[in-house]
Amino acid sequence: LKTTTRNIRIHIPYESLTPQRMQRVVEIVGQYQGQSVVSLHLKKQNGFEAVIELPPELRATACEPLQHHLNRLFEDKVVRFV
């Protein structure tokens, strides 16, 4: 998983992303520094989606603990490894 994952995508409903949750995303991702690009996929109810790639210093290792912490933060399965 760690060696084959090139991208970590976090799919979040736009309405669920608060400044506090964004700060936690940065903190959580920072705990699992690695080589995979991390991107936020913010989706609005009207179907519009914005994709934001986090900066290189926030690249992460694709692993189950990272996935677990982010899914728990948003109370949903939001992480996809690609």
How many residues can be counted in the chain? 82
User: Is a pLDDT exceeding 70 seen at residue 3?
Assistant: no
Q: What is the pairing mode between strands 33-43 and 7-13?
A: parallel
Q: Are 35 and 25 in contact (CB under 8 A)?
A: no
pLDDT number for residue 42: 96
User: Is a pLDDT exceeding 80 seen at residue 1?
Assistant: no
pLDDT number for residue 5: 73
45-79 pLDDT per residue, tens: 898 999 999 999 999 999 999 999 999 999 999 99
pTM of the shown model: 0.90
Q: Token pair of 37, please?
A: 């690009």
The CA distance from 17 to 41, in Å, is 11
Establish how many alpha carbons lie within 13 A of residue 35's alpha carbon, considering only the half-sphere containing its beta carbon: 6
